[in-house]
């Protein structure tokens, strides 16, 4: 936009519409490039922060059993243990790189290590060759219980309900022919949303998978059910409660169990 002087009077002129559109598009392109550059720098800084903090914790950890897990009836599982008794749980991305970590205190307080890239990252509690079934749980204790229920399946922990869908999509890409089962938390509590089951169903829908929910009328996960009823009852309940959200179809067994 500019001003011109004609016979002593000023008139305001504007660029032709086509030129103005070009200017706006150039401005939008520049802003988007700047945004992407900032995102790259931010991601690099987060990775650097995570690598530093994770390495510090890893180097100070010793392998051993965790009071948090033994209190939940899960004996014989060893993990890196920090000086305060916390588990240092590593999470990997689709390529197998460690991109996140979680600490779990003996009392069950869970924190992500700063800089963690959690989305789609997971912790595998076992590494079977060519798994026919993949079980996905939220927390570590639930994942270990599911491993006891179905030891032949690949079992992974996605850390929380919000990460179930991204992890399920990773598992489907890695194992396109496997049966995927989301071991949901039953977050039933009064009239509040059942977040664990709802997020599990969304994850299952995205990968043509199944959901298995503890058959309780109170808030519980599969580790709670295992502790209360024993492994045989938990195994039977896990298989019996399995269904596909699309049509509510229920199955009574996990393939490969």
> 66 with 40, same domain?
no
Pair 73, 145 in one domain: yes
**What is residue 193's predicted lDDT score, i.e. its pLDDT?**
84
Judgement on whether residues 18 and 112 belong to the same structural domain of the protein: no
> How many domains does the chain contain in total?
2
Question: Looking at residue 255, what is its pLDDT?
Answer: 44
Same domain, 64 and 43: no
Distance CA 29, CA 2 (A): 24
How is residue 175 annotated by DSSP?
-
Buried/exposed 9-46: b ≥16 CB within 10 Å, e otherwise: eeeeeeeeeeeeeeeeeeeeeeeeeeeeeeeeeeeeee
Whether residues 99 and 226 share a domain: the answer is yes
Predicted local distance difference test score (pLDDT) of residue 37: 79
**Could you tell me if 34 and 97 lie in one domain?**
no
Count of CB atoms within 10 A of residue 89's CB?
Answer: 21
**pLDDT tens track for 183-199:** 999 988 777 788 999 99
Q: Residue 216 sits in a domain of what CATH number?
A: 3.40.1360.10
pTM of the model: 0.81
Residues 208 and 94: their CA atoms lie apart, in Å, by 19
Which three-class secondary structure state does DSSP give residue 183? strand
Mean pLDDT of 200-212: 97
What is the extent of the structural domain holding 25?
Answer: 14-52
Q: What is the mean pLDDT of residues 73-100?
A: 98
The whole-angstrom separation of Cα 156 and Cα 134 is: 8
pLDDT in tens, 209-220: 999 999 999 999
- What is the β-pairing status of strands 133-137 and 179-183? parallel
As a whole-number percent, the residues of the chain with pLDDT over 70 amount to 89
Residue 14, classed as helix, strand or coil, is coil
88 belongs to a structural domain: yes
Does residue 94 contact residue 121 with C-beta atoms inside 8 Å?
Answer: no
Last residue of a domain, one of 52, 68, 99: 52
Write down the pLDDT at residue 52.
Answer: 96
The answer, yes or no, to whether residue 35 has pLDDT greater than 90, is no
What is the SS3 assignment for 220? strand
Instruction: Check whether 5 has a pLDDT greater than 60.
Output: no
134 assigned to some structural domain: yes
């Amino acid at each position: 936009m500019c001003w011109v002087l004609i016979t002593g009077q000023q008139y305001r002129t504007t660029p032709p519409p086509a030129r103005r559109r070009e200017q706006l598009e150039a401005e939008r392109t520049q802003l988007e490039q700047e945004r992407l550059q900032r995102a790259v720098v931010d991601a690099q800084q987060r990775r650097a922060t995570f690598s530093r903090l994770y390495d510090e914790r890893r180097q100070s950890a010793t392998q051993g059993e965790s009071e948090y897990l033994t209190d939940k009836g899960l004996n014989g599982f060893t993990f890196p243990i920090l000086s305060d008794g916390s588990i240092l749980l590593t999470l990997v991305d689709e390529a197998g790189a460690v991109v996140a970590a979680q600490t779990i205190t003996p009392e069950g307080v869970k924190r992500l290590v700063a800089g963690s890239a959690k989305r789609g990252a997971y912790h595998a509690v076992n590494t079977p060759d060519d798994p026919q079934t993949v079980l996905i749980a939220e927390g570590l204790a639930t994942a270990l219980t599911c491993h006891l229920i179905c030891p032949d399946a690949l079992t992974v922990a996605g850390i929380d309900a919000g990460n179930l869908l991204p992890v399920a999509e990773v598992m489907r890409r890695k194992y396109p022919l496997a049966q995927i089962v989301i071991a949901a938390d039953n977050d039933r509590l009064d009239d509040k949303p059942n977040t664990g089951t709802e997020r599990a169903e969304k994850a299952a829908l995205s990968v043509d998978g199944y959901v298995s929910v503890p058959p309780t009328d109170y808030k519980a996960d599969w580790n709670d059910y295992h502790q209360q009823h024993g492994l045989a009852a938990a195994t039977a309940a896990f298989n019996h409660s399995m269904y596909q959200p699309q049509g509510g179809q229920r199955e009574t067994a996990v393939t490969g169990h």
